Structure 1
């Protein structure tokens, strides 16, 4: 589609990715890994080719919109996962045209509701970082209603106390072993993870593809008799992010989660990262006490009925 002012809105192609990454890097000033975010969302399991859009000006891709589909409680959701326009082309309505075109395509794919919220298992944010003022203003002008909010916490890996030796010894006395997830754990671990619901099983499975594996577990016993009691992942979607994490209810409050958390953060520090983000944070007090995490980013979640 060519608009009245000569902008060509079309499906994005793999050969556009270099320019799409450049546009995202320029636009997403609060995300240092913006180029990687484009790749993550481009390759998301719920993304279709027709839900990858670009705005082309004079033969150059200067804007990107990426969407996906999901279903919850019988409602098909169309996700607006990324909307970015290169700085030199902002303020000209390109973002609005990309959004409207993506909405049309999501509707044609069966979406009954449009949302701006993390499209798990492959997501880059819980919603819109409210510091991206232009994005917030555009969404609200286009009829999106704010439905919820989420926060990320930040951990300074240079100062966080991440030693776990003493606590691991204490847990061993209770019959619990804390270790890295192994490839041979996959069948039993994946079956156990299904009990957590949502997409955590899929997210944890991604951790097995990393080297070293980006998941630590707490188990009783070993081999075929292993009983999984807790898990924690890092770097599943974004290198600096921690999560998801879960501990069996009967073991909560005994320090299992803190050990798993610290082991993951130690991995991230060893990989050269200076900070970690705890994404879509739930128990704020736990993370603050366990590793000195502090509130960092806030996200607004939006919805619009088709």
Structure 2
């Protein structure tokens, strides 16, 4: 299937829905399609017809390690280009893959309620991370996960860099090629595979990628009808949390494949909701790390993230990113 190819409608049309269908752009992976179908179904419940349009991205075509092909934007650039060429009306991204830089003509119109942002282990024999024997082979394609695995288990695991969809990665465990893989719990849950998880990591100790578990839905800022429709899918607490996380990422000048994590959660304060923000930057070889936390009012999410980024830089975070192993 070529970029920009429409597929069949994602759900049976709700009686009474009429008008031009929103073309919802998505990558072709099983997870991306599942996420796009969820967004399209929500739009249809609100009275908007939708059809999916599959778009092939650079990350889908090139199987090299993400860091070596640019990392940031390899799964999102083609969708953004399709928006600007008016081949699609809506682009559905995994927010952790979306660069922090704005693109003229495009707006992040909705961040729906977030799925579980934590990282998870799928291991043979139901093993947890602490139970994996010395020398166990653990697969991941993420420099952030490589770094934090080395921080937790020092150097007694054999870490293997892998690419591929969820099914491909888990199959490596089932076939005995690997003892375990680390994946986003959100993706496993959306695919109905949460029962295969053998361990879930504390997000303040094994810090997720900025935006992990959340979706970012973009459209052209000139399409007022689409902007209004997508506004109904936005969730303010999730938006604030990921805004803080992405502000850390932007503030330290790192890309989506950098060995850093940021995790924000909302808590009820005396005068309203507060935001608690945790971040870590680590050398991929596990030799050093900087880990800091802060908190503040929910309405100051972006500034909280910027301030934490500045604090990380003051503690030497830029050196760790520059020296990362790719």
Pairwise same-fold verdict (TM > 0.5): no
Q: Mark the structure with the bigger radius of gyration.
A: 1
What TM-score comes out, normalization by structure 2 length?
0.24
Q: Which has more strand, going by share of residues? A: 1
What TM-score comes out, normalization by structure 1 length?
0.26
